[in-house]
Amino acid sequence: MLYSELCQLDSLENPFLCGLALADHFEALCLSAGFTANDGLQLDPHYPAVSSLTLKHLPPNSSLVTRAGKVVFVRGEPQRAFILAEEEAFFVDDLWSLAKAEAAVQRYILQGHCAAGVRFVDPEHVVVHSQVAIGANSLIWPSVVLMGETVIGDGVEIQSGCWVEDCEIGDGALLKPHSVCTGAKIGPRSKVGPMAHLRPGTVLEEDVKVGNFVETKKTRLHQGAKASHLTYLGDAEVGEEANIGAGTITCNYDGFRKYPTSIGPGAFIGSNTALVAPVKVGANSIVGAGSVITRDVPDEALAVERGKLRILEGKGPDISRRNRKKAGK
């Protein structure tokens, strides 16, 4: 159930306007309000259900009452009364009625955000939990889910299909479609996705780019760092303006323990590189594509670790014939 007006109980001119005290006439009041009496009333997950037994023991000055067919609900200290409009009162006894009640709560939440300057392109297809804070001039596209203790700054754009839970998102950040962010901090003007996965402990400072199919966990990317494609960064520190090439992974787990990787400011990590932790790559150094780095790389060094390339001319057809024969073709 959803509240449309919040007021102090003692501000009501006559708390017994309808002549019925809910503490004494619980079932009768439920029927007069148009829904079936049950074990209690509940507003949303943050407000506990009030049982009829509890209501019977309310002191006279905090009795729950009806007012013109509406239900007044009192909770906690200081006592507060929630007055429900008729269309906001639901008796939930199956999944469909639960869905309708939750939709009413969502409308109330989204209306509040819109009044504060947030734009929802399609409000019917967005889920925003009540604890979420969204700054002015932010833009939320359809099929976005915002959960938990998420705080979103001003001018943020979150595109379709994103799932955001317990995150802090700085001003002007952009989340591209189908990105999943949990327990992460995203700095101002940073860009995430599409299809990125920021796991708990991820910190993106200002102007960071984390692109498509990049996964991070317990990793900090300092200002201006980039990991644009197909990368896993776990237990890592990435310095300012460092660039992580496509296919780079930090090998941070040996089956028993996790190990850190440090990449210095301005470093360039070539594509398809494996950084076997614990390992450090120095500032302004370059790691050649396809390398497996098992030792620390000094500042401003070039590190290349590959098997020697062998070319056997004319052997291609011979190998093809042999493989075809083995396959019985």
Q: Which helix (H) or strand (E) covers residue 319, if one does?
A: helix 315-326
Rg (CA), the chain: 29
Q: Six-digit token pair at 197?
A: 């996965």
* Tokens 């996965």 -> residue: 197
DSSP code at position 171:
T
DSSP code at position 307:
P
Give yes or no for a contact between 188 and 223, defined as CB atoms under 8 angstroms apart.
no
Q: Smallest Cα–Cα separation from 191: which of 199, 201, 181?
A: 181
Give yes or no for a contact between 148 and 131, defined as CB atoms under 8 angstroms apart.
yes
Count the Cβ atoms, other than its own, within 10 Å of residue 228: 16
Has 25 been annotated as catalytic? no
Sheet (strand 80-83) strand order: 5-8, 80-83, 70-75, 66-67
Q: Which helix (H) or strand (E) covers residue 32, if one does?
A: helix 26-32
CA–CA distances in Å: residue 303 to residues 238, 252, 282, 306: 17, 20, 10, 10
Q: Which helix (H) or strand (E) covers residue 114, if one does?
A: helix 95-115
Q: Six-digit token pair at 149?
A: 């203790």
CA–CA distances in Å: residue 5 to residues 85, 86, 103: 9, 12, 18
SS3 state of residue 268: strand
Catalytic residue among 25, 125, 197, 229: 229
Give yes or no for a contact between 98 and 115, defined as CB atoms under 8 angstroms apart.
no
- Catalytic residue ranges: 229
